[in-house]
Amino acid sequence: MNTIHDMGGMHGFGPVEREANEPVFHADWERRVFALTTAVSFAVPFTDDNLRSAIESIPPARYLASTYYELWLEALTKILIGRRVVSERELASGRAEPLSKDIEVLGPVTPADALAALDAGFPARRASGKPARFRLGDAVRARNLNPATHTRLPRYARGRLGHIVADHGVMSFNDANGRGDGEQPQHVYAVRFTMRELWGPEASARDHLTLDLWDDHLDPA
């Protein structure tokens, strides 16, 4: 979706400000939001694509006015309300009501199982999928796609010419997964663009930018 999260190439946000000796979390509630999001995804399964999609759906003005973990909290709450696992009434009262019998959930993840799962990770690679349409060195053009749903193709690359510099193999397709259309596994390629192709003649002639794009993001050029 074409909204504020897709901010590569925008002006006006000011200088990058680094915090010296920054803590991992800035408040206890940030710790709890991070941990809750991670832990509840075992009992009420959702993916990173679902979380990202929910974050991107937050209206732009509020997105920019929110801190990072406020965005997570809002997105997580929206997902859980969407699954009818919690309600606004419960959040306002702080009191749990009985879970409806027709809602499928799993039990709470144990500390040991949570840590083991995080250590194993959640690989995106799949054993098989759509055959590769491109090879190393091929010239490709990023498609001019403007879906109102989740996509990992940033606006600044759409319609731009690049070259395949690596084939990362077959992976689950986040765009499809994020809109609930299944994984549609396919090849992901590192596509290198010149800075001039992306940003025009004022950009450095020497510099490049690489994006990892799925087969369905690309056309032959």
Rounded Cα distance, 144 and 9, in Å: 17
| Near another protein in 48-87, by CB under 8 A | 52, 55, 64, 68, 70, 73, 76-77, 80, 85-86
Q: Which long-range contacts (CB under 8 A, 24 or more apart) does 67-73 make?
A: 69/25, 69/29, 69/30, 69/33, 69/34, 72/33, 72/34, 72/37, 73/33
Q: Does 127 bind another protein (CB under 8 A)?
A: no
110 binds another protein (CB under 8 A): yes
DSSP notation for 118-161: HHH----B-S--SPP---TT-EEEE-----SS--SS-GGGTT-E
Among residues 90, 167, 183, 197, which is the contact residue for another protein, using CB under 8 A?
90
> Least CB distance from residue 61 to another protein, whole Å?
13
Cα(44)–Cα(36) distance, rounded to whole angstroms? 11
Find the binder of another protein among 120, 131, 135, 148 (CB under 8 A). Answer: 120
102 is a site residue for another protein (CB under 8 A): no
Quick one: tokens of 56? Answer: 């991107």
Residue 10 contacts another protein per CB under 8 A? yes
- Closest CA relative to residue 83, chosen from 67, 110, 106: 106
Residues 16-45 that bind another protein (CB under 8 A): 16-19, 22, 24-29, 31-36, 38-40, 43-44
Residues 167-196 that bind another protein (CB under 8 A): 168, 171-172, 174, 188, 190
216 contacts another protein (rule: CB under 8 A): no
Smallest distance from another protein to CB 86, Å: 5
